A = this chain, B = another copy of it.
């Protein structure tokens, strides 16, 4: 079993944090650098051309961070990071998808449409014709990130963690999103005091170093 990773990218970091929280240690191979996941060597492993990917001992390759997390959650349910009963699992999944689509996708939209390394690759994992960067998406993505912070702040006013009382994979996706936002200089707005309180708390967990 092996995890394909790119250490500085926010998406695979989600899996590394998840594994630390579970206490699971597996070999990790770096597929690092813009476009390296689209190299022919890697594409023979994972035709989607994205990291993270998990290669199982039977050769099966699982892409998508949350699909990899689902694998380990099923194999080793404790500590639960994707919910326990039906309502809890659904709540975690709702907030993880919100954090992913309204947070991480928005921040990625800002970055990919301006970074010189991603010229002609305005979308991740796509091959074929060039995909131009669109400056309008930098502006739109920045506004999306601002709305995401506001939404998080409302939810965290009444909840210790994003999906309620227990730390979950929704917090992991939100943490990786916010650290990525900071890296592209989109800081937590000062009025979002609930987000800041939560951010300080989840950043202090040992797993945040992953």
Give A83-101 interface residues, CB cut-off 8 Å to B. 83, 85-87, 89-91, 93-94, 97-98
Residue interface mask A32-71, B partner, CB < 8 A = 1: 0000000000000001100000101000101110111011
Interface centre among A56, A62, A83 (most CB of B within 10 A): A62
Give chain B nearest CB distance to A107 CB in angstroms. 14
The docked-state distance in angstroms from the alpha carbon of A72 to that of B123 is: 33
A185 in the interface (beta carbon within 8 A): no
> A126: which B residues are within 8 A, CB to CB?
144, 147
A190 in the interface (beta carbon within 8 A): no
Q: Is the interface of A mostly helix, strand, loop or mixed?
A: helix
A20-28, A128-136, A176-184, A198-206: which lies at the B interface?
Answer: A128-136
Return 29 A-B CB contacts under 8 Å, by A number: A47-B154, A48-B98, A54-B90, A60-B87, A60-B91, A62-B94, A63-B94, A63-B98, A64-B94, A66-B93, A66-B97, A67-B90, A67-B91, A67-B93, A67-B94, A68-B90, A70-B83, A70-B86, A74-B86, A122-B140, A123-B140, A126-B144, A126-B147, A127-B147, A131-B140, A131-B143, A132-B140, A134-B136, A134-B137
